[in-house]
Structure 1
Amino acid sequence: MSEKPKIHRFNDMRKLVARLRDDLNGGNQDFVLLYAYNGTGKTRLSMAFKDAGKKQISRPMNVNDHVNQALTITETVSDTLYFNAFTEDLFSWDNDLEKDSERRLHINTHSKFFKGLKDLALDERIGYYLGRYADFLFDIDYDQWTVSFRKGEDARHIKISRGEENIFIWCLFMAICERVIDGLETYAWVKYLYIDDPITSLDDNNAIAVASDLAKLLRKAKSRTRPEAVVADGPGEVDMAPRMVPAPIKAVVSSHHALFFNVVCNELKKDAHKKYLLQRPERGTAYTLRATDDTPFFHHVSMLAELQKAAHGGTLYTYHFNMLRSILEKTATFFGRDDFSACIHGLDDAELFSRALNLLSHGKYDIYQPSVMVDDNKKLFRQILDAFLGRYEFVLPEVFEPPAKRRAGAPAA
C-alpha cells in the first residue's frame, strides 16, 4: 500500500511563498502547479510571491557632462511577471457614452507590465493567439494607448464581451512572455512567471487550447539560454565569441478550473514540477499543500472530504449545495449519464433530493460572503451527501485536521 502524500501546513502566506520559491530554486523544479478552489486566496498568493521578489537597488545616474559628479538613485526591482485579476484591471473601457459609436479599451501605461510595449511589435503575435480562441480583430493606437475591436470592416469599435476582453488580455500577456523568453532587455528582470486562473469565461475547447499553448510556452521558458562572454586562456585576454549558458524562467500556475489544470499537468508531466492541492482550512489564515503526483483528479475527492467535514462537525454554508451539485454532475459525466440526478436515482427520497439540489444550488450563494445554512437545509444536505457516499464508496483523504470531538450529548452544528 502506497504511503499517503504528506500535508504541509503553513501558518501564514509568507511561509507558503517561501516554500514555493524553495521548490523552484533549491528543489530544482521547473514549475509549481497549484489547484485551489475559488476563495482560497490564489490571487493574494500571486501578489505575495511577486512582493517577495522585490528589492531595492542603487545605481549611479550621470548628470550633465559638464558636471563632474554622479548621483545615486534607488529603485525597486522585481523578479516576477504575473498574470492575475490585477492584470485585467490594467485595462478600462471608454464606452463613448455621448455618441455611443467609438468604444475603446484604455491601457494603463504607468504599469511596468507595459514598459516598452510600443517598441515590441506584438500585434502579429497577439493576432496569432487571438485567432486560435476568438473571431474578432483588434487595432492598437500606441499614441493614445487604446485598443479598438472589430468584426470585419462593417463592425468597428464594437464592445466585446467580458470573456472576449479577458482572452485579448491573455493573448497580449502571452506575446509579452515570448519577448521575455527571447531575452529582450526591457524584461531582463523577469526570473519567474506567476499565472493565476488565465481562463474565466472559456468553453472547454478553448480551455484545452489555452492550457496547451501555455504549457508549450513554459517549456520554452525553462529551456531558455543566454550568451555569455568567456575569458580566454591568456591573462587579460577576452574571447569575444560568446557561449550559451542556461537562463531558465520558472513558473507557478494556479487554477480552480479542473479541465485546464489537468491539461497543463498532462502537458508538463515529463518536466520537473511539483503538483499541489492548495487549501485554506476553515477559511482561516493557515494554508495546506498536499502533493497530488500520485493522485490524478484528486481535487474532486478532496472536495468531497471538505463537504463531509463541514456536514459532520464543521459549519455548513449555503454555497456547499453548489459544491455538492458540481461533484454529482462530474460523477454523472464520468459514468456517461446526462444529468446529476442519475447519481441519486433509486434512493429513498431521490425526488426530494433532486428538487433540493436544483433549487438550493442556484441561489446567490457567494463564497466570499457566505451564509450559514438554516437547520432544515443542514439536515437535508447531510441526507443527500450521506446517501451519495453510501452509493459510491469514495476513499476520502484526511485533507484537514480532524474536527474536535463534540462534548457528549451536544447536537451537530
Structure 2
Amino acid sequence: MSNMPKITTFKSLADIAVRFRSDLKDSDFVLLYAYNGTGKTRLSMEFKDRGKKGKKKGDTLYFNAYTEDLFYWDNDLEHDTDRVLKINTDSVFFNGFRELALEDKIFEYLQRYATVNFKIDYENWEISFSKEVPNPAYKPDNDKPETIVKSNIKVSRGEENIFIWCIFLAICELVIDGEESYDWVKYIYIDDPVSSLDDNNAIVVASDLSKLLQKGVGKVNVVISSHHHLFFNVMCNELKKKKCKRYFLHKNGAAGYTLRATDETPFFHHVALLSELKGLLPQENQTIHDVRIKTYHFNMLRSVMEKTATFFGYHDFSTCIHGIEDEVLYARALNLLSHGKYSIYEPVEMGDDNKNLFVKILSAFLKKYEFQLPEIITDEDTTQA
C-alpha cells in the first residue's frame, strides 16, 4: 500500500478550493477527474468565491453550467420566426465584449466544431444564427442553388453549448494577451466543456484548449475538471511537460471528500471505477436484496469492459468475458441493460434478478482479470486536511 498515490480527506468543497489555490502557487495547472454528481460545478464556484472576498470582480474567469445560464432563448412565440439567443450583460464575463468585437475570434473556433454562422446585435444584446440547408426546390436540371441559408434559427442544444464554449475560448485569448478589460483574471477554471460532444470532437476541443492555455503559462493559472475520461487523458498528455497537478475526486458520503493524487497514473480513474463497482458485491451477511445496485451500474460496468478491451486491443468489449461460463448470456445482458437512459441523479434500484446477473458478470470479470484494486479510502494512507 505504501506505493499507492496519497489520499487526502477534506470535510468540504471549500477546503478543496483552498488546496487548489495553494497548489497553483507553484503549479501552472490543476487537472481534476470526478464522476458526475460528485460536486465539480459546486467546487468551481467555491474556488471562484474564494477570489471575490473584498473584490468587486473577483479573480477567476470560469466556465461551467452557470456560464451557460448567462444565455437564454427568445423563441418569438408570437410569430415563431425570429429566434435569438439573449445575453445577460450584468456579468463581468462580458466586460469589453462590445468594444473588442470578438466575432472573428469566436468564428475561428466555431467553424472547427459546427456548421452554423452567427451575428451579434450589440444594441439589443442578442445573437441570431443561420445555417446552410438543402434547397427543396433544387433539381439537377434546373438553375436553383443546391443549398439555401436559413436565418434566425434555433440551433441544437449541442450547437448552442459549443458556441458558448467558443465565446469562452475567445475571452481566454484576451486574458492571455493581457487585454485591459480582463486584467482582473488571475485564474481560469473550466468545468466539463465537452458534455455534449462525441469522442472525436472531445479530442479536438482538448487539443485546442491545451494549445491555447499553454500560451498563458506564467500569465494565468488554470484548473480543469471533467468526468469525460477521454478529454481528461488528452489534457494530461498535452500538459505533461508543464507544472501540473492531477487528482481524482471522490465523494465519501457524510465523511466529506477524498482527493487522490494521480500525477503518474492518469488512467487511475478507470481502476477506481472498478473498485467502486466491486464495493457493490454482497458481503457475507447480505442477501442480494440488501445490496443497493442501481440500473446505471450496468452502464459503468460496460464502460470498464470497453476500456479493458481497448487496452488489450480487442474489437469488442464482450471479448473480455470470452471463455467464461454463460458468456453469451452475459454479453447479451450487458448489451441490453447498458443502453437504457439511466440517470445517476434519480437512480433506480435494480430488481433482484438483474442484481444477481450483475453480480455474476462482475465477479466473473474480476476473476478473469486480476486487477490490483485500491480502496478509495484506507486508514493507513489517508491524511486529514
Aligned to 2:129: 149
Q: Which of 110, 130, 135 in structure 2 is aligned with 1:130? A: 110
Q: Does the Cα contact within 8 Å between 1:56 and 1:77 map onto a contact in 2?
A: no
Q: Which of 167, 186, 192 in structure 1 is aligned with 2:162? A: 167
Q: Which of 41, 45, 48 in structure 1 is aligned with 2:46? A: 48
Cα distance in 2 between the residues matched to 1:203 and 1:361: 18
In the alignment, is residue 329 of structure 1 matched against residue 300 of structure 2?
no
Cα distance in 1 between the residues matched to 2:116 and 2:151: 10
Question: How many pairs are equivalent?
Answer: 357
CA offset digits 1:265-292 (Å, max 9, x no partner):
111111101011111134x461111111
Q: Does the Cα contact within 8 Å between 2:246 and 2:266 map onto a contact in 1?
A: no
**Structure 1 residue 187: Cα displacement:** 1.5
In the alignment, is residue 298 of structure 1 matched against residue 271 of structure 2?
no
Aligned to 2:245: 274
In the alignment, is residue 255 of structure 1 matched against residue 255 of structure 2?
no
- The equivalences for 1:348-367 within 5 A come to 348-367=325-344
Aligned to 1:68: none
Q: Does the Cα contact within 8 Å between 2:57 and 2:92 map onto a contact in 1?
A: no
**Structure 1 residue 330: Cα displacement:** 2.2
- AA partner of residue 373 (structure 2): L
- AA partner of residue 131 (structure 1): Q
- AA partner of residue 398 (structure 1): E
**Structure 1 residue 16: Cα displacement:** 1.1
- AA partner of residue 354 (structure 2): N
Q: CA RMSD for the aligned pairs?
A: 1.9
Q: Does the Cα contact within 8 Å between 1:311 and 1:378 map onto a contact in 2?
A: no
Normalising by structure 2, what TM-score? 0.88
Cα distance in 1 between the residues matched to 2:296 and 2:255: 20
In the alignment, is residue 6 of structure 1 matched against residue 3 of structure 2?
no
Cα distance in 2 between the residues matched to 1:42 and 1:312: 30
- AA partner of residue 306 (structure 1): E
Q: Does the Cα contact within 8 Å between 1:54 and 1:79 map onto a contact in 2?
A: yes
- AA partner of residue 269 (structure 1): K
Q: Secondary structure at the match of 2:151?
A: coil
**Structure 1 residue 375: Cα displacement:** 2.9
Cα distance in 1 between the residues matched to 2:57 and 2:174: 19
- AA partner of residue 93 (structure 1): W
**Structure 1 residue 2: Cα displacement:** 7.7
Q: Does the Cα contact within 8 Å between 2:295 and 2:342 map onto a contact in 1?
A: yes
**Structure 1 residue 169: Cα displacement:** 0.4
Cα distance in 1 between the residues matched to 2:188 and 2:115: 28
Q: Secondary structure at the match of 2:335?
A: helix
CA offset digits 1:154-213 (Å, max 9, x no partner):
211122111111110000001011111222222121110000001112122221111111
Aligned to 1:265: 236
Cα distance in 2 between the residues matched to 1:372 and 1:11: 28
Higher normalized contact order (CA 8 Å, seq sep 6+, divided by chain length): 2
Q: Does the Cα contact within 8 Å between 2:11 and 2:255 map onto a contact in 1?
A: yes
Q: Secondary structure at the match of 1:97?
A: coil
Aligned to 2:141: none
Normalising by structure 1, what TM-score? 0.82
- The equivalences for 1:94-113 within 5 A come to 94-113=74-93
Cα distance in 1 between the residues matched to 2:259 and 2:119: 43
Cα distance in 2 between the residues matched to 1:321 and 1:17: 33
- AA partner of residue 297 (structure 1): F
**Which range moved further: 357-366 or 194-203?**
357-366
Q: Secondary structure at the match of 2:216?
A: helix
Q: Secondary structure at the match of 2:161?
A: helix
Cα distance in 2 between the residues matched to 1:46 and 1:96: 34
Aligned to 1:390: 367
Q: Secondary structure at the match of 2:310?
A: helix
CA offset digits 1:327-386 (Å, max 9, x no partner):
112222333333322222332122222232233323342211223333333222111111
Q: Secondary structure at the match of 2:200?
A: helix
Aligned to 1:79: 59
- Percent identity for Structure 1 against Structure 2: 62
In the alignment, is residue 188 of structure 1 matched against residue 188 of structure 2?
no
- AA partner of residue 30 (structure 2): V
Q: Secondary structure at the match of 1:311?
A: coil
Aligned to 2:28: 30
Q: Secondary structure at the match of 1:126?
A: helix
Q: Secondary structure at the match of 1:144?
A: coil
